[in-house]
Amino acid sequence: MLLSVLDAGPAHGYEVSAELRRRSDGDFDLPEGTIYPALHRLEKAGLLSSTWDDSGTRRRRIYQLTAQGASALVEEKHGWQRFAASVNLVLGVA
Amino acid sequence: MDPVEAYLDQVARRLRGDAADARRLLAELESHLLDEVDAARAEGLDDAAARERALARIGSVRTVARAANGGTRDLLAALMTSAAGLAVVGFAAILTGTLVAELLGHVFSMHAFYGLPGDVNPAAAKVAGWLADQPSATNWHQAATLENADDTLLLRGGASLIGLIGSLVAYAWLRRRHRGLPIAVVGATAFGIVGLALVFGGVTGSYTAAEWGTGKWLTDGLVALTVAMAYAGTAARRALA
């Protein structure tokens, strides 16, 4: 989900959490502080890159998708579509 | 105290691992909280209510610290990395002590470094063994000294070299996957206790079936205390940073 939000363009953590809440219509009301460790892990895995942005009123870390992250996002989306299709078939709601 | 600052202080106290990662997380959390407070104020909340909502949304100190520190598996991996790092230093210290004692023994006096304490009366069979293994010795005291020097260099030196290589490989492998825990205080305490015990052994001329020699005890003790001081320096720098 974090990769999907960042697929729209570089963003800092606050924007990512706000966008997650907006896209899920408030259903994904995660503790927002837990987004940062997740972003750090994705960066260590090479799926994101980040830099400090000091241009605004406060210092922010800006995250963006790497090429490896973009490929991983495509894989994850396909995987989710397959999984969701299988569950729908089982439930008979397709 | 400002509740946002109090929250960040509590998270900081619970974070494990690399200091740079912790600083980065705290900076991001602070920026996030202040953005959240600004957004709440813009919606008409007063300052206290805005801060309360920001802190409620970001998650409890425990939740955020646990997310940052990882689960039990991450903790075990970090402990293993730290243990491998301590093993590297330990084997390197043993090897250093062995080589330094060997060098100093040859320069000054083999007897002072490897000789039996005067009050030790070994079994006849043991004395016979030393004399058989050291045909160049002119008496059994000299045979015991030479046997101790040979065994220390070959057995202990060889074992510590193998241990050093093995622990280095393990540490390099683990370090690529997990950062260790900050264990400078553990290192300073462990090496400090061992160092003091070894120096005590040297000063009192201790004897065990496997280890004896005043100079050898003291050399090992001083090497261990040097490592302990290096760890203590690292711990102090971290505490003052």
- What sign has the CA pseudo-torsion A34, A38, A43, A44? positive
Candidates B11, B34, B59; nearest CB to A32: B59
* Mutate which: B28, B64, B73, vs A, most A CBs within 10 A: B28
More confident residue, B2 or B191: B191
CA distances from B56 to A80, B50, B59, B61, B150 (A): 31, 10, 6, 10, 68
User: Which pair of tokens denotes residue B234?
Assistant: 């690292």
Tens digit of each residue's pLDDT (9 = 90 or more) over B185-204: 999 999 999 999 999 999 99
Q: Does B25 sit within 8 Å of A31, measured CB to CB? A: no
- Asked which of A20-29, A49-58, B56-65, B81-90 is least confident by mean pLDDT, the reply is A20-29
Q: Does B29 sit within 8 Å of A14, measured CB to CB? A: no
> pLDDT band for position B241 (50/70/90)?
low
What pLDDT does residue A74 have?
87
More confident residue, B163 or B67: B163
What pLDDT does residue B162 have?
96
Question: Which residue of A lies nearest to B37 if distances are taken between CA atoms?
Answer: A14
What pLDDT does residue A94 have?
62
Say whether pLDDT at B18 is over 70.
Answer: yes
In this structure, are strands A48-53 and A11-12 parallel, antiparallel, or unpaired? unpaired
Query: What angle do helix axes B19-42 and A35-44 make, rounded to 10 degrees?
Result: 140
Whether this model's ipTM surpasses 0.90 comes out as no
Tens digit of each residue's pLDDT (9 = 90 or more) over B83-117: 999 999 999 999 999 999 999 999 999 999 999 98
Q: Is the pTM of this model over 0.90?
A: no
Tens digit of each residue's pLDDT (9 = 90 or more) over B119-175: 888 889 999 999 999 999 999 999 999 999 999 999 999 999 999 999 999 999 988
User: How many Cβ atoms sit within 10 Å of the Cβ of residue A28?
Assistant: 12
Candidates B28, B63, B64; nearest CB to A61: B28
> pLDDT band for position B74 (50/70/90)?
confident
b/e sequence B102-134, b meaning 16+ C-beta within 10 Å: bebbeeeebbebbbbeeeeeeeeeebeebbeeb
Q: What secondary structure letter does DSSP report for B117?
A: P
Q: What secondary structure letter does DSSP report for A26?
A: T
What pLDDT does residue B134 have?
92
User: Which pair of tokens denotes residue B178?
Assistant: 């997990």
Candidates B28, B34, B35; nearest CB to A36: B28
Question: Which residue of A lies nearest to B178 if distances are taken between CA atoms?
Answer: A44
- In this complex, is the C-beta atom of B59 within 8 Å of any C-beta atom belonging to chain A? yes
Strand ranges (DSSP E) for chain B? none
Q: What mean pLDDT comes out for the span B226-231?
A: 96
* Mutate which: A30, A58, A59, A62, vs B, most B CBs within 10 A: A58
What pLDDT does residue B98 have?
97
- CA A94 – CA B221 distance, rounded (Å): 74
